[in-house]
């Protein structure tokens, strides 16, 4: 915590303590306010006798404890959240009448919860999974919830399949395994029979499903929504959150190791960034489509397994969200917050996306069981800032004391209040969409192209991203025990791309078989699948650069964490010099040593150790620096965990710098372990040429000052994928 911040906190605590002293509210009490005289012993018949039923203090305490847990969310159970605010850049009056999108001066408070989907509350943050990205805007017109994910499409097209999807992905019911993982038979059994899920599968098998942090992932509203302006003109809108720190991910090997070292990695990262004043920021972007253009795409805007490529409709950034305050209490806020895609404000409306329509029922229903009744809107975190007036009354845990006899409408006894509000008084008017059609249980023919956008995603990935996707599929399908499921899946992948299917199949040691007549239950029984493919349109793209993380521009090293690997006798000036350079660039240099406590540098100065090798690994950092110092380096050389630390960073394609004798340590740890890293020859005896690796900055004769700029540039790139490609195919 910065110094002035902690001073302020101390002053606040002292003031609170003295206020408490005066009011007497530092005493322990029962829930009825009775001051408790002894909280160490229950009431007994004699010091060695039985406990008495009369002990109402014990009974109250234990009863409350017994009821501490509420049902966890059936999906998105594991999450972390923060408070902040949103500000629009300029008025969007021409597009929407939503008040919070009119005035750049207005700061709308928000509460944002990030989550994984499949795992339980106590599961690892590092699961391969979509991440929830739910934002509650406390606007003056009432709460607006944008309940999205970090992936712009979804597995299924119709809400009626959601329970099946979730049953398939959750731990298998007979033995409750595996936790927070899709790598098991029931998930892939279901998916291999659901061609519509293929686009989402590409995303969840990509590195997007293992983000570097919540702060470095995008968010998407997924469905097409509607903006409606004051004149009642509607336009289609897709919502995007663009993180200002860029979009970055982990490698699967890192995710697995972090799960052991720090399963709270994402939660901790968000908490620590906010405590350190490094407030995470996202820009809200919109893609706008005029109503007349609804049919101009080669996909249906109402189909949630499709995105609108940014090349076809650009994302316009309309405002910024900043998260600047951690919750005070996890249960009261993060656990009890209740989101709902149906919490709307005037100016924003739904479309007929059949997945969205089903969600509108589910979210209230789920809160009734989770939060215990219809009054969950009165829980502080869910309370709107806008005043509430209605005739809803009573029920479990009602907080409001409504006065007077009138709880109906219309009335005269209450002066006609509360009254309906006309549109110009802020009343919500549903968009008056014309709805021709018959009542049918059917999927629109325009929903049946399941592979084009999956293939677009695959083609748009860079070489390393494609390789990671192949490896993820091999991992997941490799865990599937039923071979026909693997076969069906590989057959399904071959519909996306034959090369992709072949590479996955090779790892599984099986051929790619054509699956005759892909099972697709959503095609009517008497329908010919050929009739259920939309026609190709001129808008078809070969690639979309926006879909690749690797190709996205990289800027700065703000908040990136660099490990400085040291032992006693380290070159103290080098440590300080690098720390200062990193901090000046917005990053952090943390001292990682062979033990905890503090150590003595060669110049006699004392350095506080931030992390010990006993509890950390380079997977928890973005880059590594090894300073010189004869004694430090020889201690590191004798420590296998120190060698592994740098080897991992090397394998994970991170930036690594070394100065002075640190270079010899790098050579011994990495050069010896990976001879294929040598460019050209596996047997060369002379010092290796690392200059071809943009992520390795070695300077035996230089100080950190001379190499800091190069190292910072290397960290900015996030990863140096050419290394991975080289390691996979040594010459």
Active site residues: 76, 149
Q: How far is the CB of 277 from ligand HDE (least distance, A)?
A: 25
Residue for token pair 């915590």:
1
Which listed range, 28-36, 175-183, 359-367, 606-614, lies at the site for ligand HDE (CB under 6 A)?
359-367
Spatial separation of the C-alpha atoms in residues 600 and 604, rounded to whole Å: 6
* Per CB under 6 A, 74 contacts ligand HDE: yes
* Per CB under 6 A, 134 contacts ligand HDE: yes
Spatial separation of the C-alpha atoms in residues 187 and 165, rounded to whole Å: 8
549, 249 contact by CB (below 8 A):
yes
334, 323 contact by CB (below 8 A):
no
Q: How far is the CB of 442 from ligand HDE (least distance, A)?
A: 18
Which listed range, 71-79, 204-212, 420-428, 666-674, lies at the site for ligand HDE (CB under 6 A)?
71-79
Ramachandran class of 708: left when φ > 0, alpha when ψ lies in -120 to 50, beta otherwise? alpha
Q: How far is the CB of 373 from ligand HDE (least distance, A)?
A: 15
Selected from 98, 159, 575, 623, the binder of ligand HDE by CB under 6 A is 159
Which listed range, 12-20, 146-154, 466-474, 629-637, lies at the site for ligand HDE (CB under 6 A)?
146-154
Which listed range, 82-90, 141-149, 281-289, 599-607, lies at the site for ligand HDE (CB under 6 A)?
141-149
Nearer to ligand HDE by Cβ, of 113 and 267: the residue is: 113
Selected from 210, 286, 355, 635, the binder of ligand HDE by CB under 6 A is 355
Q: How far is the CB of 339 from ligand HDE (least distance, A)?
A: 4
Spatial separation of the C-alpha atoms in residues 26 and 454, rounded to whole Å: 60
Residue for token pair 């949103």:
86
Q: How far is the CB of 72 from ligand HDE (least distance, A)?
A: 9
What are the residue ranges of helices labelled H in 24-161?
Answer: 56-66
Which listed range, 362-370, 380-388, 391-399, 544-552, lies at the site for ligand HDE (CB under 6 A)?
362-370
Nearer to ligand HDE by Cβ, of 147 and 191: the residue is: 147
Selected from 359, 486, 561, 720, the binder of ligand HDE by CB under 6 A is 359
Provide the token pair at 425: 């008084």
Q: How far is the CB of 220 from ligand HDE (least distance, A)?
A: 7
Nearer to ligand HDE by Cβ, of 304 and 572: the residue is: 304
* Per CB under 6 A, 219 contacts ligand HDE: no
Per rule CB under 6 A, count of chain residues that contact ligand HDE: 25
485, 187 contact by CB (below 8 A):
no
* Per CB under 6 A, 146 contacts ligand HDE: no
| Displacement of CA 106 from its chain's centroid (Å) | 27
C-alpha torsion sign, points 709, 712, 714, 716: negative
Strand partners, 321: 86, 282
* Per CB under 6 A, 343 contacts ligand HDE: no
Element (H, E) at 261: helix 252-261
Nearer to ligand HDE by Cβ, of 336 and 659: the residue is: 336
* Per CB under 6 A, 369 contacts ligand HDE: no
Spatial separation of the C-alpha atoms in residues 418 and 336, rounded to whole Å: 28
| Displacement of CA 205 from its chain's centroid (Å) | 15
Provide the token pair at 677: 């890293």
Which listed range, 85-93, 282-290, 355-363, 494-502, lies at the site for ligand HDE (CB under 6 A)?
355-363
* Per CB under 6 A, 79 contacts ligand HDE: yes
CB-facing half-sphere around the CA of 695: CA atoms within 13 A: 23
Nearer to ligand HDE by Cβ, of 148 and 211: the residue is: 148
Provide the token pair at 506: 């090779």
Cβ neighbours of residue 17 under 8 Å, at least 6 residues apart? 26
Spatial separation of the C-alpha atoms in residues 148 and 319, rounded to whole Å: 17
* Per CB under 6 A, 149 contacts ligand HDE: yes
Which listed range, 93-101, 145-153, 535-543, 641-649, lies at the site for ligand HDE (CB under 6 A)?
145-153
C-alpha torsion sign, points 200, 202, 204, 209: negative
Selected from 110, 210, 222, 323, the binder of ligand HDE by CB under 6 A is 222
Q: Quick one: which of 455, 452, 544 has its CA closest to 498? A: 455
Q: How far is the CB of 188 from ligand HDE (least distance, A)?
A: 20
Provide the token pair at 207: 């590195």
Rounded to 10 degrees, the C-alpha dihedral 295/298/301/307 comes to: -150
Rounded to 10 degrees, the C-alpha dihedral 249/255/259/264 comes to: 0
Q: How far is the CB of 303 from ligand HDE (least distance, A)?
A: 12
Selected from 57, 80, 147, 323, the binder of ligand HDE by CB under 6 A is 147
345, 227 contact by CB (below 8 A):
no
Residue nearest to ligand HDE (CB): 132
Query: Which class for 704: exposed (0-12), middle (13-18), buried (19 or more C-beta within 10 A)?
Result: buried
Spatial separation of the C-alpha atoms in residues 96 and 98, rounded to whole Å: 5
Strand partners, 135: 112, 146
By CB under 6 A, the residues from 459 to 488 that bind ligand HDE are: none
Q: How far is the CB of 560 from ligand HDE (least distance, A)?
A: 27
Ramachandran class of 629: left when φ > 0, alpha when ψ lies in -120 to 50, beta otherwise? left
* Strands 234-243 vs 225-228: parallel, antiparallel or unpaired: antiparallel
3-class DSSP assignment, residue 592: strand
* Per CB under 6 A, 346 contacts ligand HDE: no
Q: How far is the CB of 537 from ligand HDE (least distance, A)?
A: 25
Q: How far is the CB of 354 from ligand HDE (least distance, A)?
A: 8
* Per CB under 6 A, 366 contacts ligand HDE: yes
3-class DSSP assignment, residue 655: strand
Selected from 148, 195, 219, 662, the binder of ligand HDE by CB under 6 A is 148
Which listed range, 69-77, 118-126, 211-219, 272-280, lies at the site for ligand HDE (CB under 6 A)?
69-77
Selected from 57, 73, 128, 550, the binder of ligand HDE by CB under 6 A is 73
Spatial separation of the C-alpha atoms in residues 174 and 295, rounded to whole Å: 46
Element (H, E) at 81: strand 79-88
* Per CB under 6 A, 224 contacts ligand HDE: no
Which listed range, 46-54, 90-98, 144-152, 311-319, lies at the site for ligand HDE (CB under 6 A)?
144-152
Selected from 103, 106, 140, 162, the binder of ligand HDE by CB under 6 A is 162
Spatial separation of the C-alpha atoms in residues 433 and 441, rounded to whole Å: 21
Selected from 100, 187, 214, 339, the binder of ligand HDE by CB under 6 A is 339
Nearer to ligand HDE by Cβ, of 154 and 188: the residue is: 154
Nearer to ligand HDE by Cβ, of 222 and 472: the residue is: 222
Selected from 154, 265, 299, 666, the binder of ligand HDE by CB under 6 A is 154
* Per CB under 6 A, 363 contacts ligand HDE: yes
How far is CA 6 from each of CA 10, 13, 235, 347, rounded to the nearest angstrom?
6, 10, 48, 43
Q: Quick one: which of 328, 274, 322, 269 has its CA closest to 1? A: 274
Element (H, E) at 324: strand 316-325
Provide the token pair at 164: 């099946």
* Per CB under 6 A, 123 contacts ligand HDE: no
Q: How far is the CB of 227 from ligand HDE (least distance, A)?
A: 17
**Can you give the binding site for ligand HDE, defined by CB under 6 A?**
73-76, 79, 113, 115, 132, 134, 147-149, 154, 159, 162, 222, 337-339, 355, 358-359, 362-363, 366
């Amino acid at each position: 915590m910065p110094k002035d911040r902690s001073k302020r906190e101390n002053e606040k605590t002292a003031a609170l303590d003295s206020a408490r002293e005066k009011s007497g509210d530092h005493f322990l009490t029962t829930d009825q306010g009775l001051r408790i005289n002894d909280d160490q012993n229950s009431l007994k018949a004699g010091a060695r006798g039985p406990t008495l039923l009369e002990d109402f203090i014990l009974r109250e305490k234990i009863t409350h404890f017994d009821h501490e847990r509420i049902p966890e969310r059936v999906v998105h159970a594991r999450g972390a959240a923060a408070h902040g605010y949103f500000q629009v850049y300029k008025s969007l009056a021409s597009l929407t009448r939503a008040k919070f999108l009119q005035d750049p001066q207005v700061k709308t408070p928000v509460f944002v919860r990030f989550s994984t989907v499949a795992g339980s509350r106590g599961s690892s943050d590092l699961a391969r999974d979509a991440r929830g990205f739910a934002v509650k805007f406390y606007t003056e017109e009432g709460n607006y919830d944008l309940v999205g994910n970090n992936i712009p499409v979804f597995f299924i097209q119709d809400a009626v399949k959601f329970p099946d999807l979730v049953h398939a992905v959750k731990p298998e019911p007979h033995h409750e395994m595996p936790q927070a993982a899709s790598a098991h038979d029931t998930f892939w059994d279901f998916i291999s029979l659901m061609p519509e899920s293929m686009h989402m599968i590409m995303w969840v098998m990509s590195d997007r499903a293992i983000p570097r942090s919540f702060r470095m992932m995008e968010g998407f509203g997924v469905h097409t929504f509607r903006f409606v302006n004051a004149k009642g003109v509607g336009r289609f809108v897709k919502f995007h959150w663009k993180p200002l720190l860029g979009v970055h991910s982990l490698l699967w090997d890192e995710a697995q190791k972090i799960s052991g070292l720090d399963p709270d990695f994402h939660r901790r990262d968000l908490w620590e960034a906010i405590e350190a004043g490094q407030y995470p920021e996202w820009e809200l972007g919109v893609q706008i489509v005029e109503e007349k253009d609804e049919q101009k795409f080669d996909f249906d805007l109402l189909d949630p397994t499709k995105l609108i490529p940014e090349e076809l409709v650009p994302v316009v950034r309309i405002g910024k969200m900043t998260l600047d305050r951690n919750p005070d209490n996890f249960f009261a806020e993060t656990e009890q917050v209740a989101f709902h895609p149906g919490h709307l404000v005037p100016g924003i409306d739904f479309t007929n996306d059949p997945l969205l329509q089903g969600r509108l029922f589910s979210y209230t229903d789920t809160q009734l069981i989770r939060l215990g009744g219809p009054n969950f809107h009165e829980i502080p975190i869910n309370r709107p800032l806008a005043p509430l007036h209605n005739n809803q009354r009573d029920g479990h845990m009602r907080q409001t004391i409504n006065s007077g006899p009138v709880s109906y409408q219309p009335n005269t006894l209450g002066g006609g209040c509360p009254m309906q509000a006309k549109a110009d008084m802020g009343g919500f008017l549903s968009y008056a969409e014309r709805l021709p059609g018959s009542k049918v249980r059917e999927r629109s023919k325009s929903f049946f192209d399941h592979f084009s956008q999956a293939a677009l995603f695959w083609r748009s990935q860079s070489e390393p991203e494609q390789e990671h996707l192949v490896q993820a599929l091999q991992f997941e399908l490799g865990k599937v025990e039923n071979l026909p499921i693997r076969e069906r899946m590989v057959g399904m992948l071959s519909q996306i791309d034959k090369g992709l299917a072949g590479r996955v199949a090779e790892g599984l040691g099986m051929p790619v078989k054509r699956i005759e007549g892909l099972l697709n239950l959503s095609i009517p029984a008497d329908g010919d699948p050929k009739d259920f493919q939309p026609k190709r349109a001129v808008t078809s793209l070969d690639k979309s650069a926006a879909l690749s993380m690797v190709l996205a521009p990289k800027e700065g090293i703000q908040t990136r964490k660099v490990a400085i690997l040291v032992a006693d006798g380290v070159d103290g000036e080098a440590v300080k010099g690098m720390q200062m350079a990193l901090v000046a660039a917005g990053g952090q240099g943390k001292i990682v040593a062979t033990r905890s406590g503090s150590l003595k540098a060669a110049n006699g100065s004392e350095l506080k150790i931030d992390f010990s090798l006993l509890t950390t690994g380079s997977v928890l950092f973005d880059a590594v620096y090894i300073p010189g110092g004869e004694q430090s380096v020889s201690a590191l050389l004798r420590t296998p965990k120190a060698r592994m630390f740098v080897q991992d960073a090397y394998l994970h394609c991170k930036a690594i710098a070394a100065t002075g004798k640190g270079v010899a340590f790098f050579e011994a740890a990495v050069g010896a372990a990976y001879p294929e890293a040598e460019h050209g020859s596996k047997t060369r005896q002379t010092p290796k040429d690392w200059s071809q690796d943009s992520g390795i900055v070695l300077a035996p004769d230089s100080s950190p000052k001379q190499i800091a700029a190069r190292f910072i540039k290397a960290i900015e790139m996030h990863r140096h994928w050419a290394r991975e490609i080289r390691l996979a195919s040594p010459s």
